[in-house]
Amino acid sequence: MVHNLSITNSIFSTFLAEIRDQNIQKDAMRFRRNMERISEILGYELSKKLEYSQEMVTTPLGQAEVFKLSQQPVLATILRAGLSMHQGLLNYFDSAESAFISAYRKHSSAEDFEIQVEYLAAPKIDGKTLIISDPMLATGSSMVMVYKALLQQGKPSRTVIVAAIATVDAIEFVKRHLPENTEIWVGGIDKELTAQSYIVPGLGDAGDLAYGEKC
């Protein structure tokens, strides 16, 4: 199931516009904060699909019937670009455990590359809701590789993908390679990829914009 928040205009549209704008991108702190706010809104929206349990709490004046998450999700992100989005999700799922994965493109030429996963730090995910965030879902290859790497820690009961911008091709690739009950939540969907697998119009390199250019 794919949820595209750009279908309906809201303040979310402004944050998405700003991360795309090359003039506003010059302010790295604002770029990081916008990514954080985008993932906060995506987190809020996807939280409506999670399971809740009914409880009673004591207030200073009596008893109140409330609903709380039945189980905290595990929040996973792909280093380094995903850190701002991870923080946004953690702002809302503030009792969640976190997983961090290093995945990058190892190029053999300008257009040919393979995805390398080098580092993984994660809690047990068996039977839990796994939320994986990455700003750009370009081909979907990194996301699938990361999911497979996380299976070392168990099999999640459900998987949720969160991205600021995705492509049609990436969404179809994820659908083919991840479990059928996987949900995909995105801020916007672009149709074009360059020969080097960069999203057009996209926004550029999210990691560089947030944390500085790599050597």
Span 20-78, pLDDT tens digits: 999 999 999 999 999 999 999 999 999 999 999 999 999 999 999 999 999 999 999 99
Q: Residues 198, 138: contact at Cβ < 8 Å? A: yes
Place 111 in a pLDDT band, splitting at 50, 70 and 90: very low
Q: Where are the domains of the chain?
A: 2-211
Architecture of the 2-211 domain = 3-Layer(aba) Sandwich (3.40)
pLDDT at position 32 is: 97
Average pLDDT, the chain: 92
pLDDT of 107 strictly over 70: no
Is there a cis peptide before residue 156, judged by omega within 30 degrees of 0?
Answer: no
Place 110 in a pLDDT band, splitting at 50, 70 and 90: very low
Q: Comparing 119 with 71, which gets the higher pLDDT?
A: 71
Taking the model in full, what pTM does it have?
0.91
Query: Per-residue pLDDT averaged across 140-167, rounded?
Result: 94
pLDDT of 105 strictly over 80: no
Query: Per-residue pLDDT averaged across 77-81, rounded?
Result: 90
Place 178 in a pLDDT band, splitting at 50, 70 and 90: very high
**CA dist 150 → 4, 24, 143 (Å):** 25, 35, 11
